[in-house]
């Protein structure tokens, strides 16, 4: 999946004012990756996904899936899609929904039945297979949506907020399913604002805010870029005074003869350790403290807001 300088401009009904929903969005998703697309509400996640699915046309820029420029019938056959808050004919059962999806993909009756049974069990709806969808909870409808997105055994799976409406157990099951899809060699692109899910399963993550990509990389790479401080733990002799070691520390914790000190990022750690040795302390550990993905997300969103407000 390749997206290059994607732009989308709308006009508001009132005064026909231009609103730029996407502004030069560029990223690449490698085959077999789990790619998390993260941003606050209104950031441009769904607009990007609708463009990738050929549901709306970009104002400028380009996108391609599996080497096929969007929109493309060839790409569509090999992609599974779960939209945000999907709507289904609620008089159908989940089996009938999947049978309909299979028909749209030109699957034979035998293949539809076999695949539907596999997916109903996989998403945990086996006990509800005889119920109509109007009796389903929001979480159950989300599971049904996941099943229909996988009906054609796609090479690329695009999921818009797939954990929406799920309880913690349901979210874990969806995460496990996404990991299983990657193990099968499939590419999974999903949008979310739940950062713990991103940290748990993604190979690559992109943060979007105000229609612009703010950061991209693996979760580990992104949080390693910014050092927030250093935590040093030492063992003290019984009569050692700690006032000098605590000076300038952001946080101090002492338990018995062990002293843990969190030093600011700009601290000369070697000089601090030398003072600790001089005071008779024994160094137990030195641990860099990097910002979390949540810290990074909040900072990038705040920066995007500030940039937009500063525009003339």
Which sequence spans correspond to the domains of the chain?
2-218, 227-290
- CB distance 26 to 215 below 8 Å: no
> From CA 204, how far away is CA 219, in angstroms rounded?
7
CA torsion 208→211→214→217, rounded to 10°? 50
Rg (CA), the chain: 25
**CB-facing half-sphere around the CA of 83: CA atoms within 13 A:** 11
pLDDT score of 303 more than 80:
yes
pLDDT score of 310 more than 70:
no
Confidence of residue 306 (pLDDT cuts 50, 70, 90): low
Q: Residues of the chain with pLDDT > 70: what percent?
A: 97
Mean pLDDT of the chain: 89
Confidence of residue 102 (pLDDT cuts 50, 70, 90): very high
pLDDT score of 129 more than 60:
yes
pLDDT of the residue at 255 = 86
Contacts of residue 243, defined as CB under 8 A and 6 or more positions apart, other chains included, come to none
Residue 267 vs residues 32, 247, 249, 277: alpha-carbon distances, Å: 42, 11, 9, 17
Is the fold of 2-218 the same as that of 227-290? no
Closest to 286 (Cα-Cα) out of 233, 238, 237: 233
Report the side by side order of strands in the sheet with 18-28: 18-28, 2-11, 60-65, 68-69
The CATH number of the structural domain formed by 2-218 is: 3.40.50.300
pLDDT of the residue at 307 = 61
pLDDT of the residue at 166 = 82
**Topology classification of domain 227-290:** Alpha-Beta Plaits (3.30.70)
- CB distance 33 to 204 below 8 Å: yes
- CB distance 293 to 223 below 8 Å: yes
Confidence of residue 214 (pLDDT cuts 50, 70, 90): very high
As beta bridge partners, residue 192 has 38
| Mean local confidence (pLDDT), 141-170 | 91
Confidence of residue 308 (pLDDT cuts 50, 70, 90): low
pLDDT of the residue at 312 = 47
């Amino acid at each position: 999946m390749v997206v290059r300088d994607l732009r989308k401009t709308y006009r508001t009904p009132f005064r026909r004012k231009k609103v730029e929903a996407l502004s030069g969005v560029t990223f690449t998703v490698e085959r077999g990756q789990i790619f998390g697309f993260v941003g606050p509400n209104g950031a441009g996640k769904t607009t990007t996904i609708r463009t990738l699915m050929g549901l709306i046309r970009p104002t400028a820029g380009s996108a391609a899936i599996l080497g096929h420029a969007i929109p493309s019938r060839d790409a569509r056959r090999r992609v599974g899609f779960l939209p945000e808050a999907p709507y289904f004919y609620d008089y159908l059962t989940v089996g009938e929904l999947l049978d309909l999806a299979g028909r749209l993909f030109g699957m034979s009756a035998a293949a539809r039945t076999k695949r539907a049974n596999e997916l109903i069990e996989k998403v945990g709806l086996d006990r509800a297979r005889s119920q109509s969808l109007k009796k389903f909870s929001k979480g159950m409808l989300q599971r049904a949506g996941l099943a229909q997105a996988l009906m054609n055994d796609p090479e690329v799976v695009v999921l818009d907020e797939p954990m929406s409406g799920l309880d913690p157990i349901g979210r874990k099951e969806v995460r496990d399913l996404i990991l299983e899809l990657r193990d099968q060699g499939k590419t999974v692109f999903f949008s979310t604002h739940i950062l713990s899910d991103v940290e748990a399963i993604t190979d690559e993550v992109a943060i979007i805010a105000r229609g612009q990509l703010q950061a991209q990389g693996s979760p580990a790479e992104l949080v390693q870029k910014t050092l927030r401080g250093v935590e040093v733990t030492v063992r003290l002799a019984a009569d050692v005074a700690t006032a000098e070691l605590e000076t300038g520390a952001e946080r101090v914790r002492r338990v018995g003869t062990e002293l843990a000190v969190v030093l600011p990022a700009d601290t000369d750690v070697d000089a601090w350790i030398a003072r600790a040795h001089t005071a008779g302390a024994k160094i137990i550990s030195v641990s860099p403290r990097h910002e979390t993905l949540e810290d990074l997300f909040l900072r990038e969103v705040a920066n995007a807001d500030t940039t937009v407000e500063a525009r003339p």
